[in-house]
Amino acid sequence: MSTNLIVGIAVMVSGLILLFMGYNASQAPLEQASEALTGRFSQQTTWFLLAGGAAVVVGAVLIFLARRR
């Protein structure tokens, strides 16, 4: 296995964990009430979701590039 493949898998798994944490945070009762009143999620939940999505994309690109070689 190449280093890029291992790093890509690790980054993708980290991103999936962050997405899961962001989803769980968005489903919390206090977060639901806050979103109903303000129309948006808290900053922490938003960062979990954004960072998780970005990490999944970066991990997928690294895995793709490692497989091409």
Domain boundaries, the chain: 3-68
Q: Is 21 exposed, middle or buried (0-12, 13-18, 19+ CB in 10 A)?
A: middle
Confidence check: pLDDT of 69 > 80: no
**% residues pLDDT > 90 (the chain):** 70
* Cα 17 from Cα 15, distance rounded (Å): 5
Is it the case that residue 33 has pLDDT exceeding 80? yes
pLDDT at residue 30 is higher than 80: yes
Tell me which DSSP letter residue 42 carries.
-
Q: What is the torsional sign of CA 17, 22, 23, 29?
A: positive
